[in-house]
Structure 1
Amino acid sequence: MKTSDFNYDLPKELIAQHPLEKRSNSRLLLLNKKTGEIKHEHFYDIYDHLNKGDVLVLNDTRVLPARIHGSREGKEEHIEFLLLKRLNGGDVWECLCKPGKKVKIGTKIFFSDKLKAEVIDIAEDGNRFIEFKYDGIFEEILDELGEMPLPPYITEKLEDKERYQTVYSKVEGSAAAPTAGLHFTLELLEKLEEKGVEILYITLHVGLGTFRPVKVDDVKNHNMHSEFYVISEEVAEKINRAKSENRRIVSVGTTSVRTLETASDEDGFVKESSGWTDIFIYPGYKFKCVDALITNFHLPESTLLMLVSAFSSKDIILNAYKVAVDEKYRFFSFGDAMFLY
């Protein structure tokens, strides 16, 4: 299976540069994952397609304002740091640095009077391990100094940081948003609960590896990035009860899919767990837990497009993407959504 099999043509003007004024006004492409039948609606119409008893699983991770700017102590130059991964909950972070050549082991970095750091190691891929020193609460300082780490294909400035967060974001730790969830409003979630849809929250901290292109010709040779996830005992029990009653598990986003499929056994029952997952889902994978999927439109030749293709078929998904391009849907993080059922 070739990476090039997952390519498609996308006009640049269809890459959404900003969120819509109202989250749930985005468009929704309904796709029957077996027949390929397509319908066009709006996201608020998801209410009509989720049934009483369905379990809607959302990722409650919260994006850190993880892009910060500093300089070497005593120097005037500008260095950008992107916080990727916190090590063991402490003050050491794996960071992407630009320009990296100025950031050697032992280099001391100045961000503000409240925040300083030292480079303690360099990873094989060139990322730096940086130990932060600060006065106060780290997350509060980061919120004050940091910028949202928007994907490279979004070039316009985001005026409101909260628009790159889901309305239910709670657990800080992501370097990117679980974008399928950006379409939900609190009002829509309340309406779904009133209808009898069971809403559950899991956590997977999204890394920037989600945007990393697949650079190998053969899909099977790709090394998947790892991300930290948590499923509580209560949530696992509720999912398992639904599975035993043949109720539908609807995943919001590929991050929720990867978490559920990592933690489930061959019969689709989920265990309480936390840890790192590097599960790579591409066509040929047999889904164990997830029955339906709400997702955005993904980059050509990306692992996310491969996952969605595995959930349906490559031909059905690429045809749906062609239709979405023809119908001028908005693509990627701030773009429109698809419901595969």
Structure 2
Amino acid sequence: MTMKFYPLTFTPILKDRIWGGTKLKTYLNKPIVSETAGESWEISTVPGDVSVVNNGALKGKNINEVIDLYPEEILGKSVIARFGKQFPLLFKFIDAKEDLSIQLHPNDALAKERHNSFGKTEMWYVMQADDSARLVVGFKKDTHQQEYLAHLANKNLLDLLNEYPVSKGDVFFLETGTIHAIGAGVVVAEIQQTSDVTYRIYDWDRVDADGKERELHTEQALDAINYQTTPSKIDYHEAINQSTPVVTCPYFTTHIIALRTVFDWNRKQDAFTVLMCTNGQFELTVGDEVYHYRMGDTLLIPACLKQLTLKGEATLLEISI
């Protein structure tokens, strides 16, 4: 029997975090039962956290099994040429009830050498932000290791760092080595390389339920930090019923679709696309099949699906390689 390909959705992988809350349930309809749910991993191939399809003919298979069966149809030839059968991206929704640790991620070379992993270039799209919420991203001015260590030791590292007030729709692009933290009261959609490598450098001196502080990675971070200023906030202008480019980097390209009525989507690239619905609801038509989605849904469009129609009122992140 010939496989009839369709948009894939996955069972969310939910993560409790010391800084998490309940907005993944109240805002994004995720099936959390905890009061400290911090992350919903929407599509992942991180070892130990591999996403499982929850719809259609492939339901119950994990994403690696699906790719193994249908590599070109799912990933596309251009992705296979670069990454083989590895799915190169990780998609998350994050609810920060409290500040996340101040942290950074190593580049590809360091991550490969130390952790046999990809690096972690990432972007954030702010879905919701409480009054006075902020993100911490990058140095205010070019600095150096000694200055950084002195501020870290004196617990005034924030004096060196940018704090951005944020609101719904703000976009930040974080190159590897950029010091950052998601602030309390923010829900973000996060797109990143497939990696779970984080160097935590300051955690606000908080302790867990057992009275223990979380591990810091002070030494590992030193040669991974970019001590130069980096422009991270991305300005863009939405175009109604069009696909607007927002972030382009070697690892992924993100567009925003401001859907208000109908968008006829002709996908020309031979690569998969992921849609993350950050607001509203919509239907997607593939051939004679119609699928319905709402805010908080994430779907993988196989590379072999080319002609699609979107209808509704929604804001969508469109991510491809």
Same fold (TM over 0.5): no
Question: Normalising by structure 1, what TM-score?
Answer: 0.24
Q: Larger % of helix: which?
A: 1
Q: Which has the higher contact order (CA 8 A, sep 6+)?
A: 1
Q: Larger % of strand: which?
A: 2
